[in-house]
Chains A and B, each alone.
Chain A
Amino acid sequence: MYDTIGIWVGAFFTLAIYSFLYKENPIYRLAEHLVVGISSGYAMAVTYQITVKPRLIDPLLSGNHWILLIPGILGLLYITRFIPKISWLSRYPIGFYMGTAMGVSFPLIMKANVLRQLEGAMVPLYSSGMPWTEVLGNIVMILGTLAALIYFFFSKPHKGLFFGTGSKIGIWVIMLGFGATFGFTIMGRISLLIGRIQYLLGDWLHLIE
Chain B
Amino acid sequence: MRKNWIVVPALMILLLLPALSVAQGVDEILTPAAEEQLEEPDSWLDAPGAVTVQDKDNDAGDQLLVSFEQPLYTDGIFAYNVYRRIVGEENWNLVKVIPADDPREFIDGYDPEYPIEPGVLYEYRIASVTVDGEEYFGPVCEAGAVSAGEIYHTGKTRVLIASILFIVLIFYYFGKAQRGIKMYMRPIAGIEAIDEAIGRATEMGKPILYVPGISSIADVATIASLTILGRVAKKIAQYQTPLIVPNRDPIVFTVAEEVVKQAYLEAGRPDAFDPDSVFFLTTSQFAYVAGVNGIMMREKPATNFYLGMFYAESLLLAETGSLSGAIQIAGTDAVTQLPFFITTCDYTLIGEELYAASAYLGREPKQIGALKGQDACKAIIMGFITLALVFGIIDVVANTHILDWLRDLVASPIME
Contact = CB atoms under 8 A, between A and B. Distances in A.
B85 to A, nearest CB: 28
B379 interface: yes
B158 to A, nearest CB: 6
A146 interface: yes
A179 B339 contact: yes
A96 to B, nearest CB: 16
Contacts of B412: 111, 115-116, 119
A181 B339 contact: yes
Interface in B346-373: 350-353, 356, 371-372
Interface centre among A29, A152, A156 (most CB of B within 10 A): A152
Interface residues of B, number: 51
28 contacts: A36-B284, A107-B163, A114-B162, A115-B158, A115-B159, A116-B412, A118-B381, A118-B385, A118-B410, A121-B385, A124-B395, A142-B388, A143-B389, A145-B385, A149-B385, A150-B382, A152-B352, A154-B356, A154-B371, A155-B183, A155-B185, A155-B186, A155-B379, A174-B350, A175-B342, A178-B338, A178-B342, A185-B340
A155 B375 contact: yes
B381 A125 contact: no
A47 to B, nearest CB: 20
B355 to A, nearest CB: 9
A111 B184 CA distance: 30
Given A116-B412, A182-B339, A152 B351 contact: yes
Interface in A153-185: 153-158, 174-175, 178-179, 181-182, 185
Contacts of B386: 146
A41 B384 CA distance: 51
Contacts of B156: 107
Interface string B74-87: 00000000000000
A contact face: mostly helix, strand, loop, or mixed: helix
Contact of A152 (B353, B376, B393): B353
Interface string B383-397: 011101100110110
B400 to A, nearest CB: 11
A152 B379 CA distance: 11
Contacts of B342: 175, 178
Interface centre among A118, A123, A146, A182 (most CB of B within 10 A): A118
Given A154-B186, A155-B186, A119 B286 contact: no
Contacts of A182: 339-340, 343
Interface string A118-132: 110111111000000
A142 B410 CA distance: 16
A119 B334 CA distance: 25
A150 B386 CA distance: 12
Contacts of A134: none
A107 B159 contact: yes
Interface string B126-159: 0000000000000000000000000000001011
B13 interface: no
Contact of B335 (A106, A155, A157, A181): A181
| 7 cross-chain pairs, A with B, having the tightest CB-CB distances, nearest first | A182-B339, A122-B388, A125-B392, A178-B339, A155-B375, A157-B186, A122-B407
Contacts of A58: none
A121 B162 contact: no
A119 B162 CA distance: 13
Given A20-B286, A142-B388, A155-B184, 9 more contacts: A32-B284, A110-B166, A122-B406, A125-B393, A146-B385, A153-B375, A154-B186, A154-B375, A156-B186
A124 B403 contact: yes
B22 interface: no
A172 B381 CA distance: 20
Interface string B173-191: 0000000000111111000
A145 B351 CA distance: 15
Nearest to A94: B218
Nearest to A174: B350
B382 A124 contact: no
B378 A153 contact: yes
B33 interface: no
Contact of B392 (A106, A115, A124): A124
